[in-house]
Amino acid sequence: ETGVTQSPTHLIKTRGQQVTLRCSSQSGHNTVSWYQQALGQGPQFIFQYYREEENGRGNFPPRFSGLQFPNYSSELNVNALELDDSALYLCASSLSSGGANTGELFFGEGSRLTVL
């Protein structure tokens, strides 16, 4: 069974740039969620994708966008990067039925983004 994998593990960008983070979900899972974790805090929900459509969104601006592909992998895109976007970005996969999560979340190791 393949776990959740994320890339890249670390990256440095400058303010105003754009970034794309990638995630491969665990085998058998159909739902991908993205979370932002600032240093010393719990993860904050960004959005969730189910059947290639956004299925729930947290309190994040539209410059945070995503995609889910037919193989259930996903991308997180952030435009016009700000200093406060510096964080650990975590991808989680799960199994959903009718768009509602039915079980455990499994996380990848995260992508550490630093915005200078």
Partner 1 sequence: KQEVTQIPAALSVPEGENLVLNCSFTDSAIYNLQWFRQDPGKGLTSLLLIQSSQREQTSGRLNASLDKSSGRSTLYIAASQPGDSATYLCAADNYGQNFVFGPGTRLSVLP
Q: Among 30, 65, 73, 109, which residue sits at the site for partner 1 (rule: CB under 8 A)? A: 109
CB of 48 to partner 1, least distance (A): 6
Q: Are 54 and 29 in contact (CB under 8 A)?
A: no
The single-letter code of the amino acid at 44 is Q
The single-letter code of the amino acid at 34 is W
- Taking CB under 8 A as the binding criterion, the range among 11-19, 60-68, 75-83, 84-92 that sits at the site for partner 1 is 84-92
Nearer to partner 1, 25 or 33 (CB): 33
Tell me the HSE value of 86 on the side-chain side, using a 13 A CA sphere. 11
- Pick the closest to residue 99 from 36, 41, 48, 24 (CA basis): 48
Residue ranges in contact with partner 1 by CB under 8 A:
4, 6, 33, 35, 40-45, 48, 55-56, 58, 88, 90, 92, 96, 99-110, 112
